[in-house]
Amino acid sequence: MTDLVTTASDQGAHDGDEPRLEWAPAPSPTRRRRWPLLLWIGIPLAGVAAAGWYFGTTLIAPGVTVAGVPVGGLTVDAAASTISDGIGSTAVEITADGVTATITGADLGASLPAEELAREALAAHPLWQVGGWFPETDRTAPTIDPDATTAALADGFASVWEAPVDAVVAYDDAADLYVVTPAVPGLGVDAAAAEDAYRDALLAAAPGTLSTDLVELEAAITTEAAAARADELNAVLATAGFYVGEERTVAIPADQTASWLTLTPDPEQGRIDLTADEAAIEAAMAGLAEAVNRAPVNATVITDSDGDVLRAETEGQTGRELADTTGMASDYATQLAGGDAMFALPVSETQFETTSLARLLEVDLSDQRVYLKENGAVIDSWLISSGKSGWETNIGYHKVQAKVRVQDMGNDQVGYLQPDVEWVSYFSGDQAFHAVYWHRNWGTPTSHGCVGMPTSLAKVIYDWAPVGTDVWVHA
């Protein structure tokens, strides 16, 4: 349509007249924009692509299984729930001795890290990865709780089930030893067979049935395991004590040691655990220092003229003092729990001194006297009777060679026989110091070469002079 307009010039030229009419030119047509149409088409396509990306990366590919449970097309959370439900609900029907029981994975305590496995399944087989669809069936076996299995079977076959009895170790006060009560086997369904049947039903699409005989059930703690523990404990009782070096300075009675120990059966590990009472050990150590501490005892030894020790007259003993006992009870408790009852005490030692006595028997034939000397000093002396003419006592340096408590002396060849001669100490061939009971001629040579004296004095020499003691005979 064309509009009718009035121009300004026309109005100015014809004031007072009617306005002049003219046809106005038609406006140019406006060009339409096409981008809204493209936007309308692109938005849905982008949404489809985004949705495809989202589901392709959050859903597991078709045909994927975890532990035999299908999880294709599921999210991680849904797959984890499905895995848990699948292994828990899978059941086996077991028949034994005329009794039938249905045992599920939940009854067996079957478990898997379901969420972790679901994440791994998604990572390996996302929906977008078409080449990963319908992979080989996953046969990851769940973990089965042996205690739950035993409980489930015992409950399902309660009418025929006989539970085994574990061996027991206990202290016998009368015998002062640990003794063993043997284990008693039970009767029931083999747990391993039941577990295998369950796994087959879950992973191999087996029928889920098991027909079996009852079997003997071994105790968790066997007689052999208990006997080994008892042997170890009895060794503990035999050696328990506080030691200084190799010396068991303070022995601990068997019943007291046993009172410190606690035995705790651990059927799951098939053993008997051992602990020790630290507080009781601490209390028993109250008088330990009094029993351990001692002053040194000096030694006295008998030697010959060369300094060789012939005999210890007094045994030396090292002095010792118990060190700080802080923490000792705890250490001993730990040691006992490990089966070691020999506790080494920390002590400081004081060494003893040794006095040497070089002894000599001197026989003066002129004075008919014997002298007992130590380190050159005379400590005793008395008259003797030495060999008479023709039977003289051998002069020179000799050593005590042998000792005889009592014997007959002489024979038919020498013309005499003296029975029951006591306290004989030989020093030169068949010449000896000995007792004389058949005369009292002291100070006079009377013998057949021996050095005779009263019985009591012969015993002094016999006890005082060990074999090897120096002998000096002179005129």
Instruction: For residue 8, tell me if it sits in a domain.
Output: no
Question: Looking at the 3D structure of the chain, how many domains does it have?
Answer: 3
Instruction: For residue 338, tell me if it sits in a domain.
Output: yes
Phi, psi (deg, nearest 5) at residue 212: -145, 165
Supply the CATH number for residue 433's domain: 2.40.440.10
Instruction: For residue 1, tell me if it sits in a domain.
Output: no
Instruction: For residue 22, tell me if it sits in a domain.
Output: no
Query: Could you give the C-alpha distances from 211 to 32, 78, 96, 293, in angstroms and in order?
Result: 83, 35, 6, 73
pLDDT for res 416: 81
Distance between CA 223 and CA 184 in Å, rounded?
Answer: 9
Distance between CA 61 and CA 172 in Å, rounded?
Answer: 68
Task: Give the side-chain half-sphere CA count within 13 A for 319.
Answer: 10
334: its two tokens = 């730990």
308: its two tokens = 């060789």
CB 441 within 8 A of CB 461: no
pLDDT for res 95: 97
User: Which amino acid would we find at residue 306?
Assistant: D
What predicted TM-score, i.e. pTM, was given to this entire model? 0.62
Indicate the residue among 300, 316, 350 that finishes a domain. 350
CA proximity to 144, closest of 98, 187, 115, 104: 104
- For residues 284 and 373, state if they share a domain: no
For the chain of 475 residues, list the mean pLDDT of each consecutive stretch of 10. Answer: 38 42 45 47 49 77 95 96 96 96 97 96 95 93 95 96 97 97 97 95 90 96 98 98 95 97 96 97 93 96 97 95 95 97 96 97 98 98 97 98 96 82 97 97 96 98 98 98
> If you ran DSSP here, which 8-state letter would residue 330 be given?
H
pLDDT tens string 15-26: 444 444 343 444
Distance between CA 410 and CA 432 in Å, rounded?
Answer: 13
> If you ran DSSP here, which 8-state letter would residue 353 be given?
P
pLDDT for res 18: 44
- For residues 295 and 437, state if they share a domain: no
Task: Give the side-chain half-sphere CA count within 13 A for 140.
Answer: 23
Residue 435 lies in domain: 356-474
pLDDT for res 8: 40
- For residues 205 and 301, state if they share a domain: no
CB 300 within 8 A of CB 354: yes
Distance between CA 424 and CA 405 in Å, rounded?
Answer: 6
- For residues 206 and 254, state if they share a domain: no
Instruction: Please report where in the chains the tokens 């051998």 appear, as a residue.
Output: 394
CA proximity to 304, closest of 209, 224, 400: 400
Cβ neighbours around 241 below 10 Å, total: 17
- For residues 231 and 277, state if they share a domain: yes
Instruction: For residue 9, tell me if it sits in a domain.
Output: no
Supply the CATH number for residue 280's domain: 3.10.20
- For residues 339 and 400, state if they share a domain: no
pLDDT for res 35: 43
CB 347 within 8 A of CB 407: no
Phi, psi (deg, nearest 5) at residue 448: -95, 35
pLDDT for res 207: 87
- For residues 285 and 309, state if they share a domain: yes
Phi, psi (deg, nearest 5) at residue 374: -125, 120
